[in-house]
Structure 1
């Protein structure tokens, strides 16, 4: 069982960051899903669920792992190193651009939530001054650390947010019905604790491990003839 945050405010921060209406721009990015839809690999709720499970498992080496590593940061030097490493492990150019855009937005939200935390403030300021590249997982990890949220809760919450956002994108792209989308999210309940445990078991050395088929779809997206999403 996942441990719970240590305060009522920490709970509220978790709920805030998992809100599907969080203004990070995630609705504009499909992380290669649109490529798979157009190729006929994802056509219905069942094939999307399979895709989603692979996407979230890769996130345990990527965006979700960045959240956990962000929680572990204790200095500006470490922050700069993690930001550079996260950016350099993004192979697809559109995915790098997506991470930068969503990272900047997440950092702004983080500073609104925890304006007095030095690392939260540093990351937001550094992104505006172009000293950092940007990653939404890092920004989320910093604010969750400042709020006193433990690693497993942070990882599970962030993975839930990713699952919810991507399901909303699938509803538009495949398309799926809203009820089908909600059933998929409920099916992910049993996966998320294990995925959170996997994320927390990893270290910086695991960052950037990729699933080739998903990564190729992300690279191919910029060449598809018509698109609904930016990546």
Structure 2
């Protein structure tokens, strides 16, 4: 008899849904991407715990707070309104602002995987047909915002969970590619966690998403021709 995944989720609290969405165990492949961090290590810009923390804090403030989280916030609102046109516009903006083929592949692959997770878990979610129509693929921040809204999560808490999930994945990438010890990784994560509330506040106050992180784009492009790689971006 097949396992009914949707039934226990119906009785879970929004907090449990957010913990689930933020978990690195979510089967979307986030662990396989470093988002340019591996290239920064190869270039010598990141070489220890402090420099890894500085790099990721900049990424949190310049990319997550100004682009990814505002898109997720807007997708959260569009999901509650079942506004397919708004979801399509956010998806198109996200695709158009990827600087490299690897970052484009990442945002589409993780978006598809998260949508597949939603389809298996909450097949009755009203937003699913709107997400399925997104071409050429639904993107990660759009589907993540929609997933949080579909699970009944309040917006600010949803953005905090999304930011934490990103921070934990990138901390683990740093542990593997700098490399760092587990204790150093936890100290790095603590720095990111301390900065997440301000990043979320910035995202909530943003009138619209903004994509401008040239150094990250440069190293993302360099990663595509890097000789030896552990990660897909």
CA-to-aligned-CA distance 1:175-208 (integer Å, 9 cap, x gap)? 111111112112222211111111111133x33x
Q: Does 1:51 align with 2:40?
A: no
Q: Does 1:181 align with 2:189?
A: no
CA-to-aligned-CA distance 1:198-231 (integer Å, 9 cap, x gap)? 1111133x33x22211111112111111111111
- Decide whether the 8 Å contact of 2:22 with 2:165 is kept in 1: yes
Q: Is the partner of 2:98 in helix, strand or coil? A: coil
> What is the match of residue 76 of structure 1?
84
Cα deviation, residue 119, structure 1: 1.2
> What is the match of residue 205 of structure 2?
201
- Decide whether the 8 Å contact of 1:14 with 1:144 is kept in 2: yes
For residues 133-172 of structure 1, what are the structure 2 equivalents within 5 Å?
Answer: 133-172=137-176
- Decide whether the 8 Å contact of 2:38 with 2:231 is kept in 1: yes
More displaced, 90-99 or 160-169? 90-99
Distance across 2 between alignment mates of 1:132 and 1:78? 16
Q: Is the partner of 2:133 in helix, strand or coil? A: helix
> What is the match of residue 214 of structure 1?
216
Distance across 1 between alignment mates of 2:221 and 2:212? 13
Cα deviation, residue 150, structure 1: 1.9
Q: How many residues align?
A: 219
- Decide whether the 8 Å contact of 1:83 with 1:132 is kept in 2: no
1:60 corresponds to which of 61, 65, 75: 65
Cα deviation, residue 121, structure 1: 4.2
> What is the match of residue 125 of structure 2?
117
Distance across 1 between alignment mates of 2:12 and 2:192? 25
> What is the match of residue 225 of structure 1?
227
> What is the match of residue 3 of structure 1?
none
Segments of structure 2 that go 5 or more residues without pairing to the other structure are 1-10
Distance across 2 between alignment mates of 1:100 and 1:43? 30
Distance across 1 between alignment mates of 2:46 and 2:141? 26
RMSD, matched Cα: 1.6
Distance across 2 between alignment mates of 1:149 and 1:203? 22
Moved over 4 A (4+): none
CA-to-aligned-CA distance 1:7-34 (integer Å, 9 cap, x gap)? 9521111000111111111111111101
TM-score, normalised with respect to structure 1: 0.89
